[in-house]
Amino acid sequence: MKRTLLIGYGNPDREDDGVAWHILRALTVKMGLTAPSSYEDEFPQNALMDFAFYLQLTPEMAEEISAYEYVCFVDAHTGAIPEPVRLIGVDSDFQRSPFTHHLTPQSLMSMCETLYGKKPDAALLSVLGYRFLFTQQLSEETQALVPQAVDLIWEWFGERNVL
């Protein structure tokens, strides 16, 4: 079984919606790895963990996720969460959505458990997005939250002896 998967998702062409890519990139730098220069580039290979970035979560990811002991999802939020940066555990819970293209980490974990009989220890790191314009640059407000987000994931790693 593989150890850890960091899976970021969002649209990096829509300003703060792409914060997950920036966080994953900052984590590779913190780990002393060569960071990708674009979200279209692959993340470096690492014996401790795998990095993945997608525009959205899809049901097909359940198989990939089932191969890991730990999974951390990273995404932006628009203010429905009280904290600007929050890390919470993800339980297996299928959630219906009125949007056909929307899948939550909880639903994906439910699919993983139902289809593959495995449920990795999972968390969701969510970071407040302030603007969602057509640019690949983060707003100053969201950019300022990236170090806190990286520190929270780093602590989560430490609690699980990932590093």
**21-37 pLDDT per residue, tens:** 999 999 999 999 999 99
2-159, what's its fold? Rossmann fold (3.40.50)
What's the chain's average pLDDT? 91
Residue 50 is predicted with a pLDDT of 94
What's the predicted TM-score (pTM) here? 0.93
For the chain, the domains span 2-159
Residue 53 · residue 43 · CB < 8 Å: yes
SS3 88: strand
pLDDT per residue as tens digits for the range 75-111? 999 988 889 999 999 987 665 554 545 789 999 999 9
Give the dihedral sign, CA 69/127/89/11: negative
Chain centroid to CA 141: 19
| CA–CA dist 34, 41 (Å, integer) | 11
Give the dihedral sign, CA 14/18/22/23: positive
| CA–CA dist 17, 141 (Å, integer) | 13
Residues forming beta bridges with residue 51, ordered by sequence position: 6
Angle, CA 139 vertex, CA 137 and CA 145 arms, to 5°:
110
| CA–CA dist 46, 24 (Å, integer) | 13
Kindly give, in sequence order, each residue whose CB lies less than 8 Å from that of residue 118, ignoring residues fewer than 6 positions away.
66, 112
Residues forming beta bridges with residue 115, ordered by sequence position: none
